[in-house]
Structure 1
Amino acid sequence: MTKIFHPIALGLLGLMMQACGIPDLTVKNEDTHLPEQFKTDLTEQSTGGPVVKWKDFFEDPNLLSLIDIAIVNNKEVNMMLQRISVAENEIQARKGQYLPFVKLGAAAEGEKVGDFTRNGAVENSLMLKNGQAFPTVLGDYRFGLFSTWEIDVWKKLRNSAQVAVLEFMATNEGKNFLVTNLVSEVAHSYYELLALDNQLDNLVQNITIQQNGLEIVKQLQFFARTSTLAVKRYEAEVAKNQSKMYEIKQQITVVENRINYLLGRTPQPIQRASSGFMELKPKFIQAGIPSQLLQNRPDIRKAELELSAAKLNIDVAKANFYPSFGINAGIGFDAFALKYLINTPESLAASIAGELVAPVVNKNAIIAEYKNSNAKQIQAAYEYEQSIINAFTEVANQLSNIDNLDKNYHLKRGQVDALVKSIDISVQLFKSARTDYLDVLLTQRDALEAKKELIETKQKQIIAMVDLYKSLGGGWQ
């Protein structure tokens, strides 16, 4: 009994010594407090939350088709899928670490010892059972099963496997966040393309109006009712707007190529329906309550999972201070000559051994790893808090933006209507010599600029709702 007690006592004493050498660290608790509601008069907030899938949020079939292609072909998404595969394989690798390792092995070696050595003298004095002397070169042939197993007393290996699971889940949430951003980028570019088409149509219509005005000025010049200066000013204005057409066409080409890049393909025309752009109404969605961001935003869930993994990594690093317990075992055949290798039971061999290993001197690397795991946990907690604040800020900004853009659009709509009417009035006044040609030019120029700003405001309205949808989680739950 005493022989058994002494090793146990020594082991417990070593364990106590290890525990005394662990530095004291502070784990940061994350702050997830958010206001109860978003401050906005735009929408009535409910607890339902924005869980509309993007296929239901977007109604344009051309845009839906582009998004489908982007999700399948986008290079960054496909690279992320490979990172997910790596993270999944890491789970399998770490789970295997706390199971016994069993290997099948074989070995062969030969040894010639000197006759006047101890082993040589023993071999020379012995003979085999059949009366033959030991061979000059003594062989050693082995094959069998060999097993090693680290007993996971402190859950170090199991916690490490759970860390891999959390990191895999975080990587998957990262993919969801990437897809959300990709859907938003495709929608941004698509609506920008529709806006540019409308800008081009607006410019063409304005050029037509100015060309008609140019013909009127030429007729009035023929009857000596205006000067050559008016004709030249009109010609210059028409040429200026015609040159702008090519600028817009180049912008359209750039945006089309940007969409194709997001879709993972070479440049080609983008199918779209631009005619009803100005009649589009931004799709209304409920903002929900701020606390729902914690469940709906993939980036927040990713940060939360990374924080959980960082906390568990502290336990993994802490387990390095404790003794590790291992079992080594083997069974097989062992003989000095091949012809005896499978003789049983003479050549049958087996072994089993246990080991207890604990760090005693120079634990600097273990201490440093433990402190690093704590620092990474604190960093992950701050990143989690930052992602929550960022999400809340994005939603608050977009709610305010949508409200102000709605008011802005209605005022600009009235400005455009008034300027369009003033064009006809200015032309009639010019024909009757009651106003100067410059008034007509300036009125047309103002109307063109106002209509351009109205189209841009409509684009901003639609994009703001897309950004709000993305900020609320993009339909992920």
Structure 2
Amino acid sequence: MMQKKYKLLGIACLSLAYTACKLPSLAGKKESQAIPEHYANGAQDSVNTARLRWREYFTDPNLAALIDTALANNQELNITLQEIEISRNEVRARKGEYLPFVGIQAGGGVDKVARYTNIGAMEANTEIKPGKEMPDPLPDYQIRAVATWEIDIWQKLHNAKKAAVSRYLSTMEGRNFVITNLVAEIANSYYELLALDNQLAILQQNIELQNSALRIVRLQKEATRVTELPVRKFEAEVLKTQSLQYDIQQRITETENKINFLLGRYPRHIARSQQDLTTIIPAVVHTGLPPQLLANRPDIRQAELQLTAAKLDVKVAKAQFYPSLGISASIGYQAFNPSYLLKTPESLLYSLAGDLVAPLVNRNGIKATYYSANAKQIQALYQYERTILNAYIEVANQQAKIGNLEQSYDLKTKQVDALSRSVNISNGLFQSARADYMEVLLTQRDMLEARFELIETRKAQMSAVVNIYQALGGGWN
């Protein structure tokens, strides 16, 4: 009889395993980390600016103070820190799932069984003590320890925990990516503020120059050497230049408030350098080699960890097709009278049971989860490859931009020098009545535009230096 039972049990287990092993086929995609060995300039130097700490890269003390404040107060960064805490708790929850669950259970109740039933008839003829019948209704008191445990024979729970760990680590990299972007955004806004200060100073110098020319033309008008027309033209040019001041002042206000927002505080004056932007020399950047992006860029490492978690999710979903083994046990005391509750062995109870369960019919839900997990894995793989490609292109773009802006700045510097001499010459010729007033106006206008463009080019250079540091993966360490 026992041999027959074991045989039937073995057949049942084999049936469960066979049914579970009939897994649906999945579409797959191979992972690729292909990345060029060198950038477009062909440099083979492995020195990489991204390894510098941001304090070593941004040496302006005012800028460093702003970044420090932002790292402490920025709301987006603090939101990311809470996401890390959520992911850490998810790891704890997953870890607890593959450990036995043990709890204490206590309770009490009362039960009235109909007398004209088999249980009621038996209780009516039962004596607890000589001459003492079983109570009716029957109280019930119990206290016991219970335990349940799913044996992780297919590593389903362990893989779920590993996936949670990978996602936790990815949130850490997400935090580093937020820091990198935050540092770069503050630095770009800071240099934009310096550029606006410089443009405002240039504008005020130009207003003084135009006022000087206006005084001269008024004197010439009084001496009847010129008509009223050039006087009105010069006055209109002065008023136009003066109006530009308010546009720049508005942009300064908005840029200051943008920085204050990043710092997590209400609007206030931003302390900054008063240095002429054209005297600030952009930092020398070493781009290193493209494969270093895989280690330096937080977003690439984040995408890689997300891909690892997605692969583990497929394994977890696959394990749902296999039989699961669970064990439950309890031990404690139960009695109908509290005075008997702890009486041993009469009130002692215990139980031990195991169950093996596998899906046989209607596995569509499990299949859907399995297919979805595989699709998310492929999605994460494409996202990983896309992140690597985007990182390489960002560095290549900024690398080319730095070189082109350097050439442009040199030419614009020569343009400003030439126009400065032209302004002096035109003023001298106009005073000696050898040049038309329109030549003076146009030369001054060209000079103002050229100096503005020179500042814009220098600001673009500083932004390119900031952006390539960000693109290389610097700023978070």
Distance in structure 1 (CA, Å) of the matches to 2:222 and 2:251: 40
In the TM superposition, residue 190 of structure 1 has moved relative to its aligned partner by 0.4
Distance in structure 2 (CA, Å) of the matches to 1:115 and 1:28: 70
**1:197 corresponds to:** 197
**1:277 corresponds to:** 277
Greater CA deviation, 275-284 or 99-108? Answer: 275-284
Asked if the contact 2:198–2:276 (Cα under 8 Å) also holds between the matched residues in 1, the reply is no
**2:48 corresponds to:** 49
Distance in structure 1 (CA, Å) of the matches to 2:236 and 2:363: 82
In the TM superposition, residue 475 of structure 1 has moved relative to its aligned partner by 4.5
Q: 1:81-92 alignment to 2 at 5 Å?
A: 81-92=81-92
3-state SS in 2 of match to 1:145: strand
Greater CA deviation, 141-150 or 193-202? Answer: 141-150
**1:25 corresponds to:** 26
Asked if the contact 2:84–2:171 (Cα under 8 Å) also holds between the matched residues in 1, the reply is yes
3-state SS in 2 of match to 1:25: coil
**Runs of 5+ consecutive residues of structure 2 not aligned to the other structure:** none
**1:4 corresponds to:** 6
The runs of at least 4 aligned residues of structure 1 exceeding 6 Å deviation read none
**1:454 corresponds to:** 454
Asked if the contact 2:303–2:383 (Cα under 8 Å) also holds between the matched residues in 1, the reply is yes
**1:473 corresponds to:** 473
Deviations 1:189-244 (A, max 9, x none): 10000000000000000000000111111111111111111111111111111110
Deviations 1:308-352 (A, max 9, x none): 110111000000001110110011111122221111121111111
In the TM superposition, residue 12 of structure 1 has moved relative to its aligned partner by 2.4
Distance in structure 1 (CA, Å) of the matches to 2:243 and 2:33: 55
Distance in structure 2 (CA, Å) of the matches to 1:400 and 1:292: 19
Greater CA deviation, 71-80 or 136-145? Answer: 136-145
**1:104 corresponds to:** 104
Asked if the contact 1:27–1:377 (Cα under 8 Å) also holds between the matched residues in 2, the reply is no
Q: TM-score of the superposition, structure 1-length normalised?
A: 0.98
**Runs of 5+ consecutive residues of structure 1 not aligned to the other structure:** none
3-state SS in 2 of match to 1:267: coil
Q: 1:394-413 alignment to 2 at 5 Å?
A: 394-413=394-413
Asked if the contact 1:30–1:384 (Cα under 8 Å) also holds between the matched residues in 2, the reply is no
3-state SS in 2 of match to 1:84: helix
Deviations 1:360-380 (A, max 9, x none): 111111000000000000000
3-state SS in 2 of match to 1:168: helix
What's the C-alpha RMSD, in Å, of the aligned pairs? 1.2
Asked if the contact 1:112–1:137 (Cα under 8 Å) also holds between the matched residues in 2, the reply is yes
In the TM superposition, residue 121 of structure 1 has moved relative to its aligned partner by 0.6
Distance 1:130 1:212, change over 3 A: farther
Greater CA deviation, 268-277 or 420-429? Answer: 268-277
Distance in structure 2 (CA, Å) of the matches to 1:52 and 1:476: 10
**1:124 corresponds to:** 124
**1:383 corresponds to:** 383
Distance in structure 2 (CA, Å) of the matches to 1:28 and 1:307: 12
Asked if the contact 2:183–2:475 (Cα under 8 Å) also holds between the matched residues in 1, the reply is no
In the TM superposition, residue 45 of structure 1 has moved relative to its aligned partner by 3.8
**2:61 corresponds to:** 61
Distance in structure 1 (CA, Å) of the matches to 2:152 and 2:85: 27
**1:302 corresponds to:** 302
Distance in structure 2 (CA, Å) of the matches to 1:187 and 1:475: 11
In the TM superposition, residue 40 of structure 1 has moved relative to its aligned partner by 2.4
Work out the number of aligned pairs and report it. Answer: 474
Distance in structure 2 (CA, Å) of the matches to 1:443 and 1:130: 126
Asked if the contact 2:150–2:325 (Cα under 8 Å) also holds between the matched residues in 1, the reply is yes
Structure 1 letter corresponding to 2:14:
L
In the TM superposition, residue 254 of structure 1 has moved relative to its aligned partner by 0.3
Deviations 1:138-158 (A, max 9, x none): 122111110000000000000
Structure 1 letter corresponding to 2:24:
P
Deviations 1:86-121 (A, max 9, x none): 000000000000000001111212111111111111
Asked if the contact 1:105–1:146 (Cα under 8 Å) also holds between the matched residues in 2, the reply is yes
Distance in structure 1 (CA, Å) of the matches to 2:28 and 2:170: 21
- Among all aligned residue pairs of Structure 1 and Structure 2, give the percentage whose two residues are the same amino acid: 50
3-state SS in 2 of match to 1:24: coil
Distance in structure 1 (CA, Å) of the matches to 2:276 and 2:62: 13
Q: TM-score of the superposition, structure 2-length normalised?
A: 0.98
Asked if the contact 2:112–2:138 (Cα under 8 Å) also holds between the matched residues in 1, the reply is yes
Distance in structure 1 (CA, Å) of the matches to 2:11 and 2:180: 59
Confirm whether residue 318 of structure 1 aligns to residue 318 of structure 2: yes
Asked if the contact 2:195–2:456 (Cα under 8 Å) also holds between the matched residues in 1, the reply is yes
**2:36 corresponds to:** 35
3-state SS in 2 of match to 1:128: strand
Asked if the contact 1:100–1:149 (Cα under 8 Å) also holds between the matched residues in 2, the reply is yes
Structure 1 letter corresponding to 2:38:
Q
Asked if the contact 1:45–1:287 (Cα under 8 Å) also holds between the matched residues in 2, the reply is no
In the TM superposition, residue 27 of structure 1 has moved relative to its aligned partner by 3.0
Structure 2 letter corresponding to 1:12:
L
